[in-house]
Amino acid sequence: MFIRRAKIVKYLCIGLLVSTLALACSCSGRIEKPEDAVERMVRAYGGRERIAMLTSFKGLGFIKDLRSDTVARSYPYDIYQKGTLFKSRITVIKSSVVVDVRISIDDGRERYLWQHSSGKRNVPEWEFELIKYKFPLALEWLQDPEVAGTVVTTPDDTGSYRLRYEVGDDIVTYTINGSSWLLEKMEVASVSDTSFSFSEAYGDYRKIEGNMPFPNRFTGVYREMPYYEFFIPVIEYGIDIPDAFFRVTAEDTHGVVKLVPAEKAKEPAGEVPPEKSDTAP
C-alpha cells in the first residue's frame, strides 16, 4: 500500500514538472513572427477593447524647455486626442504670469500651430502624419492584419524585440520590452529621404485607472537631436471629446497677459529653438 502510494506521488510530481515546463516554454518561447509579439503586447495592455478606449484621451502635465541649458525649465502641457484628431497646448509662464500660449491643432481638415503672441502658422506635415505610428494609436495600427513586418532584433541581443514594417515610403520600427511586453519606442525613417529620422520613446510606465499601463514620459528625437520631452502624469481615457473642441477657443487663451514691447525685448527669441518642436504632438 505504501509503495503504491509512493508511485502515485512520483507520477503526480512528474506530471506537475512536465506541465510547469510546458507552461514556461509557452510563456517564454522565442518569438519568430511580429504577430506573436504584438499579441503579447495587446494582452499586456488589457486586450483589444481596452486599447480601443486609449485612442480617446486627455493628458495634463508639463513639457521641458529644451533651449534652457543652464536652468531646468518646464511649462504646463495639455494634450487631447480622439483618434487622429489632435490638440496640444503649451502655456508659457514668466514670473508666475501667463505670457503666451502655443496650440497645435489637427481637426481633420487643417493642421496648424496657433500662438497667442504671433498668430497662426503652418507646421511640418510629418509631425501630424506620424501620429498614427505613435502611442497609443500604434497599439491599434499594429493589430491590423494588413500590416506585415519582420522581427529584426530579439531579446538575445537587447532584452527587447524590434519589429520592422515598411509602409510606402516609411520604414517604421517598434521596440517592445521582452518581459513586460509594453511598447518602449517607435522609430521612423524614409526610403526617399535618407536624412530623415524620428523616434519617440515611452518611459516611466505606471498603472492608471482600470489597471491600464500608460507611459508618463514621452521623448522625441528628430535627426538625432532632442526634439521634445513631456510628462503627462494625469490621464483620462475612454472619454468622449466633441469634435468642436479641436480648435482654438477663448478658454485656451484665458488669463494670458499681453507683454509691452519693453518686456518683449527681455524675452528670449523663442522658448524652443527652430530645430526643436513647438508642437510636440
Could you read off the pLDDT tens digit of each residue along the chain, which spans 281 residues?
Answer: 444 444 444 444 444 443 443 334 344 566 889 999 999 999 999 999 999 999 999 999 999 988 766 667 899 999 999 999 999 999 999 888 999 999 999 999 999 999 999 999 988 889 899 999 999 999 999 999 889 999 988 776 678 999 999 999 999 999 999 999 999 999 999 999 999 999 999 999 999 988 899 999 999 999 999 999 999 999 999 999 999 999 999 899 887 876 544 444 344 433 344 445 555 55
- Assess if residue 12 is contained within a domain: yes
Give residue 220's domain range. 31-266
Domains: count for the chain: 2
- pLDDT for the residue numbered 266: 46
237 plus 101 within the same structural domain: yes
Tell me the pTM. 0.80
User: Do 223 and 111 share a structural domain?
Assistant: yes
| Nearest residue to 136 via CA among 200, 180, 188 | 200
Phi-psi sector, 108: left (phi>0), alpha (psi -120 to 50), beta: left
Q: How far apart are CA 91 and CA 101, in angstroms?
A: 5
Cα of 10 vs its chain's centroid, Å: 51
The answer to whether residue 280 sits within a structural domain is no
In a domain, 45, yes or no: yes
pLDDT (0 to 100) of residue 29: 60
**125 is written with which cell numbers?**
506635415
Q: 79 lies in a domain?
A: yes
Verify that 61 and 73 share a domain, yes or no. Answer: yes
Q: Are residue 15 and residue 77 in the same domain, yes or no?
A: no
- Same domain, yes or no: 64 and 126: yes
**From residue 16, how far is each of 3, 4, 10, 20, 246 by CA, in Å?**
20, 18, 10, 6, 57
Judge whether 127 lies within some domain.
yes
Residue 281 lies in a domain: no
User: Taking CA 59 as the corner, what is the angle to CA 54 and CA 61, rounded to the nearest 5 degrees?
Assistant: 145
Look at residue 3 in the predicted model and tell me its pLDDT. 46
Beta bridge partners, 172, equal 165, 188
Residue 80 has what pLDDT? 97
Identify whether residues 22 and 89 lie together within a single domain.
no
Domain CATH number, residue 218: 2.50.20
- pLDDT value of residue 69: 67
> How many degrees, rounded to 5, is the angle at CA 124 between CA 119 and CA 129?
120
Same domain, 7 and 133: no
- Looking at residue 67, the DSSP 8-state letter turns out to be T
Are 164 and 226 found together in one domain?
yes
Name the grid cell of 177: 520590452
Asked if 103 and 7 sit in the same domain, the reply is: no
Measured distance CA(138)–CA(20) in Å, rounded: 34
Residue 217 and residue 185 share a domain: yes
Both 17 and 105 in a single domain? no
Q: Does residue 63 lie within any of the structural domains?
A: yes
Same structural domain, 103 and 49: yes
Q: Is there a domain that residue 237 lies in?
A: yes
